[in-house]
Amino acid sequence: MRIGELARRTGVTPRALRYYEEQGLLTPERRPSGYREYGDRDVDAVHGIRTLLAAGLNSAAIAEILPGLPLPGQRQAGPTCPELLDGLARERARITRQMDELAAARAILDAIMGAEAPSEVIRTPRA
């Protein structure tokens, strides 16, 4: 599929998809026309990229682990070098700290809203 379709199927703009390629996150084939040609696997890859990006990982970190990205339907990623493993452990720790900060922020909002019930009960139904 070309960039337009991947964009529709992932909800990511073509601009962002080209940017991901610049960052080495995606490496689509090229047609003789120069148009990028993506595979179905890229749909899942893009979702993974978005998730990791949203979690605060930089493109460099994502690029390293992309080949090991657990795509839907496949098992655990294969063995990774100890150095990379260490980097992932740090990212995980960072995310955990981030979660704590978010929980603290939510607690503040709960207090302001005068919410005694568990947050899960007052969660606003999202879109």
Among residues 12, 52, 62, 66, the one that binds DNA under rule CB under 7 A: 12
By three-state DSSP, how is residue 30 classified? strand
CA distance 25 to 8: 18
Query: Which residues 50-79 are close enough to bind DNA by CB under 7 A?
Result: none
Q: Which is nearer to DNA, 33 or 96 (CB)?
A: 33
Q: Does 5 bind DNA (CB under 7 A)?
A: yes
* Assigned token pair, 3: 């960039």
* Assigned token pair, 96: 């955990």
Q: Does 34 bind DNA (CB under 7 A)?
A: yes
Smallest distance, DNA to C-beta of residue 49, A: 9
Q: Does 43 bind DNA (CB under 7 A)?
A: no
CA distance 90 to 21: 25
* Assigned token pair, 104: 């603290």
Q: Does 35 bind DNA (CB under 7 A)?
A: yes
CA distance 47 to 92: 19
> Which residue stretch of 34-42, 62-70, 75-83, 108-116 sits at the interface with DNA (rule: CB under 7 A)?
34-42
Amino acid, res. 103: A
Smallest distance, DNA to C-beta of residue 21, A: 8
37's enclosing H/E stretch is strand 36-37
Query: Which residues 99-118 are close enough to bind DNA by CB under 7 A?
Result: none
* Assigned token pair, 102: 């978010």
The binding site for DNA (CB under 7 A) comprises 2-5, 7, 12-16, 18-19, 34-36
